[in-house]
Amino acid sequence: MSLKKAYEQFFSMGTSVSWSNMMSEEAKAELKKHYSSITAENGMKPMFFLDEKENLANPEKYHECPALHFESPRIYLDFAKESGIPLRGHVLVWHSQTPMWFFKEKYSKEEDAPWASREIMLTRMENYIKGVLEFVQTEYPGVVYAWDVVNEAVEERGQQGWRQWSGWYQSIGEDFLIHAYRFARKYAAPGVKLFYNDYNTFDTFKKDFIVENILKPLIAEGLVDGMGMQSHLVLNDLDLDGYKQALYKYGGLGLEIQVTELDIHNNDPSEDGLNKLAEAYSELFHILLDAKKNGKANVTNVTIWGMKDDESWLTDFRKETSYSLLFGNNYEPKAAYQAVIDAVK
Ligand code: 9MR
């Protein structure tokens, strides 16, 4: 049984893919077998589209319209096109993995270089979004079905509100977000879905902030189609009730819901540890399936953040080996994989 087949009636099943996955025939075979959606884990973020050499060499020429290059993104788009697996675009507007010089006057790399003006940054934003979407839609029509337009605009603790140290916030102000969606809607091909994406979206304050300050204003202008709940969870600190409440709250707004970056950090590779992980995945997938079936949330995709344990970003981030995914280091299905398959039976 494959993941995509098991879930085809309910939602697509995705995974993030790395550059090295794209170089591996084994990984590509696994992708074709199990997944009906892919997301580039890194390679379609702004740092990969922005041509640093060209922009820095000719800042006057590009100060309104940044030079872009497409080598890195093409690897993912070529595979998506050739395999027929639709791709989630990640991500257009983010504070991270966007070079600091992009936000600065004359694309300066000096440490205390001034921010570019609001007007210039709005123009750069529009031209960046236009350039990326037009490239993708011209050369790979129909391949990218959704975009995370803005990622992680809210502070760690929601009660602090907007992430004010973001280059976007610093240079434009809090309405950078609505402008990003206006530009994305303007240039996105018909049918391409626009998402807001964030982590810890079940945190009470963060959830309320996102609903009131981000989703409702975007919905009022018809600028957003879906909410991306990243879902980087931790096995020893799970609150699936809170998760369900958040899912229902976002779902109640009438948006599509996608679980965009699912993993459950687990540092225990013993049988007991792996069984606990399987139970957590099982419970989570039951929540998602129930929400879909009872109309509480229109879940349209679940994406696992990594194809196999030894490729998870979590080991680096948590400073301990993480056994958080559905497949082990040789793509062997773990108990968590079986639990996900069983959840839908
Ligand atoms: O998994 C990605 C990792 O390889 C990168 O080093 C990291 C850099 O910030 O980004 C990771 O992916 C992030 C995603 O783009 C946005 N949500 C959080 C993810 C985990 O950090």
Residue 234 CA to ligand 1 centre (angstroms): 16
> For 190-226, what is each residue's pLDDT tens digit?
999 999 999 999 999 999 999 999 999 999 999 999 9
Q: Which of 261, 308, 315, 324 to mutate to test the pocket of ligand 1 (most atoms within 8 A of CB)?
A: 261
CATH number at 1-35+226-345: 3.20.20.80
343 contact partners, CB below 8 Å, separation of at least 6: 281, 282, 285, 286, 289
* Pocket probe mutation, ligand 1, options 15, 19, 20, 41, max atoms within 8 Å of Cβ: 41
**What is the Cα gyration radius of the chain?**
20
pTM for this prediction: 0.98
Burial grade of 323 (CB within 10 A; 0-12, 13-18, 19 or more): buried
User: Looking at residue 337, what is its pLDDT?
Assistant: 98
Which part of the chain has CATH 3.20.20.80?
A: 1-35+226-345, 38-224
Q: Measured at the alpha carbon of residue 258, what is the angle toward residues 253 and 260, in degrees to the nearest 5?
A: 140
DSSP helix/strand/coil, 247: helix
Q: How would DSSP label each residue in 39-101? A: EESSTTSHHHHB-HHHHHH-HHHHSSS--B--HHHHHHHHHHHHHT--EEEEEEE-STTS-GG
HSE-CB at 50 with a 13 A cutoff on CA atoms is 28
Q: What is the 13 CA–ligand 1 centroid distance (Å)?
A: 19
Instruction: Choose, from 30, 152, 256, 311, the residue flagged as catalytic.
Output: 152
Considering the four listed CATH numbers 3.10.450.40, 3.40.50.620, 3.40.50.300, 3.20.20.80, the one that applies to the domain covering 38-224 is 3.20.20.80
pLDDT tens track for 290-326: 999 999 999 999 999 999 999 999 999 999 999 999 9
Task: Give yes or no: 261 in active site.
Answer: yes
* pLDDT tens digit sequence for 27-36: 999 999 999 9
DSSP, res 106: G
pLDDT digits (tens, 9 = 90+) for 73-107: 999 999 999 999 999 999 999 999 999 999 999 99
Res 160: pLDDT: 83
Cβ of 313 below 6 Å from ligand 1: yes
For ligand 1, is residue 202 a contact (CB within 6 Å)?
Answer: no
Q: Ligand 1 in contact with 94 (CB < 6 A)?
A: no
- Mean pLDDT of the chain, nearest integer: 98
For residue 305, give the ligand 1 atom closest to its CA: 1
3-state DSSP assignment of residue 25: helix
Ligand 1 closest atom vs CA 313: 1
